Amino acid sequence: MGLPEKHDLQKPEKVEGTFSYEDFGFRSARIKKSVNESPTVKSFYLENPLRKDPLPGQFVMVWVPGGEEIPISISGVEDDALRISVANKGKTTAKLHALEKGGTVMIRGPFGTHFHLNESSYLLVGGGYGVAPLIYAASFISKSGTECTYLVGAKTASELLFLEEARRLGMDVRIITEDGSAGRKGMVTDVLDKLLEEKRFDLVLTCGPERMMYEVVRKALGRGIRVQASLERYMKCGFGICGSCVLDPTGLRVCTDGPVFDGEVLLSTDFGRKKRDASGSVVEI
Ligand X SMILES: Cc1cc2nc3c(=O)[nH]c(=O)nc-3n(C[C@H](O)[C@H](O)[C@H](O)COP(=O)(O)OP(=O)(O)OC[C@H]3O[C@@H](n4cnc5c(N)ncnc54)[C@H](O)[C@@H]3O)c2cc1C
List, in sequence order, every residue forming a beta bridge with 34; answer none if it has no partner.
Answer: 44
The least distance separating ligand FES from the CB of residue 77, rounded to whole angstroms, comes to: 24
Q: Angle between the 210-222 and 188-198 helix axes, to the nearest 10 degrees? A: 20
Binding part of the chain for ligand FES, among 86-94, 161-169, 217-225, 236-244 by CB under 6 A, reads 236-244
| Residue 240 touching ligand FES (CB under 6 A) | yes
Which positions touch ligand X (CB under 6 A)? 59, 68, 70-73, 85-87, 89-93, 129, 132, 232-235, 259, 278
| Residue 65 touching ligand FES (CB under 6 A) | no
Is 79 exposed, middle or buried, given 0-12, 13-18 or 19+ CB atoms closer than 10 A? exposed
Instruction: Give the one residue of 12, 39, 243, 251 binding ligand FES; rule: CB under 6 A.
Output: 243
Say if residues 187 and 143 touch (Cβ distance below 8 Å): no
Minimum CB distance to ligand X smaller for 34 or for 93: 93
Residue 185 touches which of ligand FES, ligand X, none (CB < 5 to 8 A by kind)? Answer: none
The least distance separating ligand X from the CB of residue 276, rounded to whole angstroms, comes to: 10
Instruction: Give the one residue of 203, 255, 260, 266 binding ligand FES; rule: CB under 6 A.
Output: 255
CA pair distance 93, 89, nearest whole angstrom: 6
CA pair distance 12, 136, nearest whole angstrom: 37
Minimum CB distance to ligand X smaller for 42 or for 219: 42
Contact partners, residue 31, CB within 8 Å, separation at least 6: 44, 45, 46, 99, 100, 101, 102, 103, 104, 105
Residue 240 touches which of ligand FES, ligand X, none (CB < 5 to 8 A by kind)? Answer: ligand FES
Residues that bind ligand FES in the complex, under the rule CB under 6 A: 235-238, 240-245, 253, 255
